[in-house]
Amino acid sequence: MNETAFLEALLRIPSLSGDEAAAAEFLVAQMRSFGWESFVDPAGNAVAQLGDHGPQLVLLGHIDTVAGEVPVRIADGLLYGRGAVDAKGPFATFIWAARRVQEAGRLHCRLVLVGATEEEAASSKGAHFARDRYAPDLCVIGEPGGWDRITLGYKGRLQVHYRHTQPSAHSAGELQAAPQQMVAFWQAVESYCAAYNQGRSKLFEQLIPSLRQVASGGDGMQDWAAATIGLRLPERIDPADLAATLRDLAGSAEVQFSGACPAFRSPRATPLANAFVRAIRNHGGNPTFLHKTGTADMNVVGPAWRCPIVAYGPGDSRLDHTPDEHIAIAEYLRAIDVLADVIAMH
């Protein structure tokens, strides 16, 4: 298969978070066909290793996707499918860039490719396993940003699971209904975030809340209301401290937390970032740096590895998780060219 046929085949394999086994086996088989040492590790990651000298460069992408079937097809130079952008496209870029460097005899480092599991589930199971297994000199995270853009940082994350239960009461009574109590909590969270954001104009510096799920009900004896709230955290906010504040705001309601992860930002002036700048310029691009308002596996491995790290990959991140998810084939191929040059520089 060529680069495009490979990505198309990968997109046709469903790989929801927690159910990535078929995609991992496909990737391992393909990477073994290149003569690479390749295997599925205990976390379900698809792993390949090549090169026997030089610095270790880990290419860490994720192969799981969110739900929703986007019919796989090619039209007008665009390849459609769930994961085309987030993030099978970037991981396919890793594989073909490594293959190109090896075939050209330009591989001067020890490469480890990791197609990680459960990034979309907020557990980052695959990245946590890789974090404790490797200690690389350099790392590239596979996430979409565009072939001529380099991502240096991601915001942190905290998910809040709220549930309030109370005795049933007549709607004409004085007791606020359970859904009203939940709305009041949401409004308190919004107000807290708005106060924090005063004077902070950049999105990367702001505390951003989102109401993800809402439900309510009752059995005639008790009424309940529940909500899931997502928060994107700037660098100065510690998830544990924020959780304590939210417990206070929730009053007597039950609150639980998941997906806690602090923000992470990599320095701009590193040999790895500079290599991407040179490679992008060599291919006619005008490189720019990004700081994303989402969260990625960079947040997991970056603080532990403390090595030069960036995120890179083709695709428009505004198409993440959408019913129109697609990647421009020309951009995908150009990103392979850029990454191949970066690998060869190390």
Cα–chain center distance at 99: 24
H or E element in which residue 328 lies: strand 326-328
For the chain, what is the radius of gyration of the CA atoms? 22
> Three-state DSSP class for 49?
strand
Beta strands in 55-207 (DSSP E): 56-62, 73-75, 78-80, 110-116, 138-142, 149-154, 156-167
Examine the residue annotation and report whether 25 is marked as an active-site residue of this protein. no
Residue from 119, 143, 320, 337 carrying the catalytic annotation: 119
Tokens, residue 309: 């790290």
CA distance 346 to 334: 19
> Is the distance from CB of 335 to CB of 106 less than 8 angstroms?
no
CA distance 115 to 90: 10
Examine the residue annotation and report whether 119 is marked as an active-site residue of this protein. yes
CA distance 285 to 305: 30
User: What are residue 286's phi and psi, to 5 degrees?
Assistant: -115, 95
CA distance 153 to 131: 17
Residue from 3, 8, 64, 120 carrying the catalytic annotation: 64
Residues 6+ apart with CB under 8 A from 93: 142, 313, 314, 332, 335, 336, 339
> Three-state DSSP class for 148?
coil
Residues facing 163 on adjacent strands: 226, 254
The single residue listed with the structure tokens 């660098």 is 235
User: What residues act catalytically?
Assistant: 64, 119
